[in-house]
Amino acid sequence: QMWEEAIALGKELAEQYENEMFDYEQLSELLRKQAQFYENIVKVIRPKPDYFAVGYYGQGFPTFIRNKVFIYRGKEYERREDFEARLLTQFPNAEKMKTTSPPGDDIKNSSGQYIQCFTVKPKLDLPSKFHRPVSEQIVSFYRVNEVQRFEYSRPVRKGEKNPDNEFANMWIERTIYVTAYKLPGILRWFEVKSVFMVEISPLENAIETMQLTNDKINNMVQQHLNDPNLPINPLSMLLNGIVDPAVMGGFTNYEKAFFTEKYMHEHPEDHDKIEKLKDLIAWQIPFLAEGIRIHGEKVTEALRPFHERMEACFRQLKDKVEKQYGVRAVLSSLDDRRGSRPRSMVRSFTMPSSSRPLSVASVSSISSDSTPSRPGSDGFVLEPLLPKKMHSRSQDKLDKDDLDKDKKEKKKEKRNSKHQEIFDKEFKSTDISLQQSEAVILSETISPLRPQRPKSQVINVISSERRFSVSPSSPSSQATPPPITPRTKLSFGIQSNLELNGMSSSDIPDVPPPLPLKGSMADYGNLMESQDLISPATSPPAHQRVSP
């Protein structure tokens, strides 16, 4: 489960696969493994093994371990008693020492075998890349791995014994062990190369204890925030041991020992340390508040009375601490780290494709060049005939067309759906006029109902077009009415489409012919042009209302 080491080796392999061997298949498999390792680091809780200091004293041991101290890395969840039993099986004649202090020369020079074993605590040596605060789940690996310094603390009494407060004169004698190599390594044990000792004063011990307690509360709170399924019992024991004064006494013992006028007068040099201890006490309140809040959310009904008592004790503690040492506040850890969705993304989800009007595809086709789909349809192209139609109409016809246009626009407003109205507002700034979109909508409405035009009728329409599409400067173009009078009452219905194609109502077959396939937009544009030439009731062309 040392995934950090596996990731480091994987990066070396990835460099070879990518730049030396060009084996992308192996590279992809390796990167997938690395992704899984990173996920395991964050989500999987790994057991923390204990470290033990073992001293072999006496002339009865082999020379490579005689009178030397080694640091051993225990197995997962291995207690000190189990480790000692495993160790003594290798030296059945050895005697286990009862004390943790270094032995004298009499034991070292004796002919027997004496083994000294006690638990040591690894010192965190965080890599330099962690230059800012990171998650405890990431740091926890380095608390028990890649460590080379270990410490053992032993309490020592100095001065008169105070029966009311044992913290006033409790000194700590701390021994630091430095191994030859970092653990774990090739072996699970390495020799100690240097040993030195420091003494910790009672006030420094109190500061260190408060700091460790705050870190422990904060780490457990973060674990429960990251994984709501964690059991609540360890959190209950931790909070109750701090909040309830009947359990541990809390920091009241520190107040009695160090926050007195007598201690301040005897130790004026400890003023800064006392202020630091007060600050740590004040900072403990927001950590406890967050822990009790999480405990209240996860507590069962059976433990509800226990939680209510803990809340009552915390309220008293909070009032006292905030009154004496001030108020501290921490940023909430429940901030939503997922950024809001971009507005363009929101719009793409809230505006479905069904809201688009029918003219979207046809508008784009009008802007492109229309090509005839059949031979002989050159005279039906929309663009060249527009100027001819403009000069072949009189002013009264244009007025009539304007009135018809207003009526059609009113009908269009009733026909448009809500989504089409929204679409018109969205694209109001475009150059596409309403009349253009109306003409295109009519073309799409007519196109599925128009049957195939007979070949003879196509020739008749072409010849009639060539008869009256004369030059605009000719006076006969304005005086001569259109020769095709039976079709002047043509409307955009099914009946008009059948008459347009040269069929009367009596010629309608029982079964309608199959619908033609839509080849291109030029077919339907040609139909619109012929209808404009025949019917004076159609809407005026779009180019009359669009400025160049």
CATH of the domain at 242: 1.20.58.740
CA 96 to chain centre: 56
Number of domains within the chain: 3
The answer as to whether 475 is a domain residue is no
**How far is Cα 444 from Cα 524, in angstroms, rounded to an integer?**
8
Whether residues 259 and 275 fall in one domain = yes
pLDDT > 60? residue 365: no
Q: Does residue 287 lie in a domain region? A: yes
Pull the structure tokens for residue 80: 């000190």
213 found inside a domain: yes
Residue 203 CA to residue 255 CA, distance in Å, equals 11
109, 220: one domain: no
Shared-domain flag, residues 173 and 209: no
Q: Which two tokens stand for residue 504?
A: 């009367």
Q: Which residue, 285, 303, 332, sits at the end of a domain?
A: 332
**Final residue belonging to a domain, choices 296, 312, 332:** 332
Alpha-carbon distance 502 to 486, whole Å? 12
Residue 399 lies in a domain: no
Residues 166 and 215 in one domain: no
Check whether residue 21 and residue 60 sit in a common domain: no
Cis peptide before 231 (omega within 30 of 0): no
Domain identity same for 183 and 267? no
**Tens digits of residue pLDDT in 171-221:** 999 999 999 999 999 999 999 999 999 999 999 999 999 999 999 999 889
Strand partners, 118: 53
* pLDDT > 80? residue 441: no
Structure tokens at 446: 């007519």
Average pLDDT over residues 335-360: 38
Are residues 67 and 192 part of one domain? yes
Do 104 and 164 lie in one domain? The reply is yes
Is 67 found in the same domain as 191? yes
Q: What is the pLDDT of residue 267?
A: 86
Q: Is residue 109 part of a domain?
A: yes
Token output for 179:
């191994």
Same domain as 26, residue 108: no
Q: Do 184 and 305 belong together in one domain? A: no
The domain in which residue 90 lies consists of 47-200
Q: What is the pLDDT of residue 452?
A: 61
| Beta carbons of 292 and 310 less than 8 angstroms apart | yes
Which pLDDT band, with edges at 50, 70 and 90, does 453 fall under? low
Which of 66-70, 247-251, 486-490, 508-512: highest mean pLDDT?
66-70
In a domain, 99, yes or no: yes
> What's the whole-number mean pLDDT along residues 386-414?
55
Residue 522 resides in a domain? no
Are residue 188 and residue 246 in the same domain, yes or no? no
Q: Which of 200, 228, 244 is the last residue of a domain?
A: 200
